[in-house]
Amino acid sequence: MAARLKGWNGPPGPFRPEFWRSPLRGPWLTSVLGLVLLAGITLVAITGLVSYAAYEPRLPGNDTTPGRGLLGFYLFDWPTDPIWLYRVTQGVHVVGGLTLVPILLAKLWSVIPKLFSWPPARSVAEAVERASLLLLVGGAVFQFVTGILNVQLFYVFPFSFYPAHFYGAWIFLAAFVVHVVIKMPRVIHTLRTYGLRDHLRSSVADTRPEPPDPDGLVAVDPAPPTMSRRGLLTFAGGGSLIMFGLSVGQCVDGPLRRTALLAPHGRLYGPGPNDFQVNKTAASLGVTAAQTGASWRLALVGPQRMQLSREDLLAMPLHTYALPIACVEGWSTVQTWTGVRLADLARLAGIRSGSTGVTTRSLQRVGYFGQASLSAAQVADPRSLLALRVNGADLSLDHGFPARVIVPNAPGVHNTKWVRELDFTQERS
């Protein structure tokens, strides 16, 4: 038995080096794809952390990851200017993530022999590297898959997206940093040795396997090439351009909105002033027309308490601003909103402008973000409104009738719809 095991080369199939025969695989191809992913993932990670900051997690009820510990470090209060900042960062995060999918798949294809190498590790150092590789690949698949499912509003996983994506991001980023530190010297050496021009100029007929490498990426028994490395990079890059073209329309207004085939919010919502994206409908959150009818009242909570009807609000000084609304799923749009300033409502509740924030509460009965807290700076901004109209018309029920919050540069879920209460007694946690 011992003699048999000594001569055993591992399980058959993908665990054997001769199984992988593509002449394209090798350190050069993996290095080029890796550098593209390094730039792209860094940008996606930064914009994801910016999104976390935009939620103002230190305010009551805003933190979707209460057990975050040191992972939830928070460096600054989220500003109201520039008004397009959250729109841009979330668009980059979502569209950038979708655009990277073909590059990620190409990179995984280029290193797949390494994932099946046998034995899994020959030393402690190699075992650590393999463990980080498993976390890297598993983390990448988890983050991209759950992110795409969230964009598509297809919640088939049995857990909340927000905390899972947050903690998954930190696990993935830790493995990503370890991988970059280990591999970057080899990447630099490979690209300095072989450059870019030679491989990019090679035709299919001129394509040759790279020299043998210690990672076992180069095929030991390569098949004849059917594609050049330039062709593979063009194929992956073309896929990325297609993903970009099918998703970027959800981030801009105008004709491109019709091209956002990967965005469930990219479709039309009928003619008229309320024809723009709806994240969650009134029916899906248990809000009925009866609740928002003539009997609806807005409760102001503060040193002075009062209730206001929609007619009372319409009789107050109204202000109109063109402001973007943007959601974590990546869509955004600029609309013209008319309503009462939150600062004016704070004064009615006995609050000095800029002295405290507000917690907004909705009529919605189910789902997340039935309430949200805004900072004192957000309340004090003159463009922060309790909106009653949009584009000159009354809000539709799905857009928050009879009243919704709209705050410059705030995440969409903090622009609470169907507002029933504004509580100005909040304290920062």
Using one digit for the tens of pLDDT, what is the confidence trace for 149-169?
998 888 888 888 988 999 999
Crossing angle (nearest 10°) for helices 229-245 and 85-115? 150
Mean per-residue pLDDT, 397-407: 96
Q: Measure the CA angle with vertex 332, ends 397 and 36; round to 5°.
A: 150
Query: Contact at 8 Å (CB) between 29 and 232?
Result: yes
Is the model's pLDDT at 428 over the cut of 60?
A: no
| pLDDT tens-digit series, residues 253-310 | 878 888 888 876 545 566 688 888 888 889 999 999 899 999 999 999 999 999 999 9
Torsion of CA 419, 333, 285, 390, to 10 degrees: 40
pLDDT band at 200 (very low <50, low <70, confident <90, very high): confident
pTM reported for the whole predicted model: 0.89
> How many whole angstroms separate alpha carbon 129 and alpha carbon 181?
11
How many residues appear in the chain?
A: 429
The span from the CA of 240 to the CA of 204, in Å, is: 22
pLDDT higher than threshold 80 for residue 4: no
Show me where the domains of the chain are located: 2-251, 283-423
Cα separation, 345 vs 232, in Å, equals 60
Domain 283-423, CATH number (from 3.40.50.300, 3.90.420.10, 3.30.70.1350, 3.30.200.20) = 3.90.420.10
Q: Are 82 and 393 in contact (CB under 8 A)?
A: no
How far is Cα 145 from Cα 293, in angstroms, rounded to an integer? 41
Instruction: Say what the pLDDT of residue 98 is.
Output: 96
Q: Who's near 8: CB < 8 A, 6+ residues apart?
A: none
